[in-house]
Structure 1
Amino acid sequence: MELEDIYENVENDYIKDTTGARTQNHSQDEGKDGKCRGSRCLVLMSVCLGLMCVLLLVFITLYITITAERDLLKSYKNTVEEFNQTINSLQDNYTDLMTEKDQLKNNFNSLSQKKLELETELRKLYELGNDRFFISSELKSWSESRQFCRDRGADLIIIKTEEKQI
């Protein structure tokens, strides 16, 4: 029986030692697991919070960028509309100026023709007047013209009505 007692004692010791050690180790493991689970949970929560902050930062940045681009696009559209209005206004002014130019050109041609007619008429009067009229192509002041005429034994006259001019 001695062997049996030894085996029993060894088994009991082994069981006791193992159970005791296991109980101690198990409770220590539970404490470690609890601490480990708590720290893992804390790490996981920290990572999730960090990811949420990064995502929030990205969304805010995108929102600000999109808003700024939209405002810039509106500004460009307004600028384009102003340029179009300016172009239309300039085109209208150009059309008006071209019309006015044509009118002035017609008036100039009409006046040039009238001038030629008057010069022709003056030459006829000069020929009929037998040296009573003198036509000069030089530009002179009134007093210079009067002196020029007096040097030749004549004087300047002013004709105020159309009947006397004919």
Structure 2
Amino acid sequence: MESEVYYVNFKKGDINNSTGPQTQSQGQDDGKSQKSMRFGRFCNPQGSRSLVLITVGLGLICVLLLVFVILQHIIITAERDRIKSYKNTVKEFNQTISGLQDNYTDLKTEKDQLQNNFRSLSQQILELESQVRSLKDELNMDASERVCLFISNELNWADSRQYCRDHGGDLLIINTEEKQRFIFSLVEERVWIGLSDREQEGNMKWVDNSPLNEGFWLGGEPNNQDGNEDCVELIPSHPVLNSWNDLPCSKMKKGICEK
């Protein structure tokens, strides 16, 4: 097909007129196009979606930070409370230990006291057993061997003997261990007995003039201290078989009499 060629004649004025308005219109169109492009970039749906995502992300970060801060506060508070509780527990434990130490000291003291009491009671039991044996021996004595005992006033040895004789008896004679134990269990204070070496120093005799066969002396007695101890007393505060002592006959004390 043959192309068709069209020839258009324009006047010079027409060209200028047509060119001028066309150029202005084109400029206006270009300006509108640029504004449309800038507005299009600002109002781009993809850009709005990114902005929303960024905003949401920042919000989540803020929430996470807030949660982290709250958790840290809770952890620190719990740790502080735990440390405080631990300190209180340690304090109570130390107080308990101190109390137990005091109780241990008290119990140890009480134990020592109980041991002392036990030893004392054991000694008393032994003495009571000895007294029981003496009483049994006394009860087993024949009627002829039994004696009537009484105590004189507080006098010297010679006057005490005279008191006993005035009342139908004489100062006590102790010639057996059984009788010593029995008499020892009865007396509660130092008393004269009927033994002396007034007639001959070192030759102890009873008031019936019989010699001494068995004595129950304190350690180191008789010692005739100062050369003037010729009469004999019984001291109940000493051991039962070590309770005799010589001393001056002029001393004032009660005497134990028998008849």
If the length of structure 1 is used for normalisation, what is the TM-score?
0.59
Larger relative contact order (Cα-Cα within 8 Å, sequence gap ≥ 6): 2
Residue by residue over 1:79-113, the C-alpha shift from the partner in whole angstroms, topping out at 9 and shown as x without a partner, is 22112211210121121011101110110111111
Answer yes or no: is 1:28 the counterpart of 2:30: no
Alpha-carbon separation, structure 2, partners of 1:63 and 1:22: 62
Alpha-carbon separation, structure 2, partners of 1:103 and 1:33: 105
Hey, which of these two has a bigger chunk of helix by percent? 1
Answer yes or no: is 1:70 the counterpart of 2:91: no
List gaps (5 residues or longer) in structure 2.
1-6, 8-22, 143-184, 188-259
If the length of structure 2 is used for normalisation, what is the TM-score?
0.40
Alpha-carbon separation, structure 2, partners of 1:112 and 1:61: 73
What is the aligned-residue identity percentage? 44
Residue by residue over 1:24-64, the C-alpha shift from the partner in whole angstroms, topping out at 9 and shown as x without a partner, is 54323211222249735454333223212211111111111
1:127 corresponds, among 137, 141, 149, to 137
Aligned to 1:97: 107
1:47 corresponds, among 53, 57, 67, to 57
Alpha-carbon separation, structure 2, partners of 1:129 and 1:43: 122
Residue 28 of structure 1 aligns with an amino acid whose one-letter code is S
- Judge which range, 34-43 or 95-104, deviates more: 34-43
Matched positions, count: 125
Residue 37 of structure 2 aligns with an amino acid whose one-letter code is D
Alpha-carbon separation, structure 2, partners of 1:35 and 1:99: 97
Aligned to 1:112: 122
Q: Aligned Cα RMSD in Å?
A: 3.5
Aligned to 2:68: 58
Residue 40 of structure 2 aligns with an amino acid whose one-letter code is K
Residue 119 of structure 2 aligns with an amino acid whose one-letter code is N
Residue 126 of structure 2 aligns with an amino acid whose one-letter code is L
Residue 67 of structure 1 aligns with an amino acid whose one-letter code is T
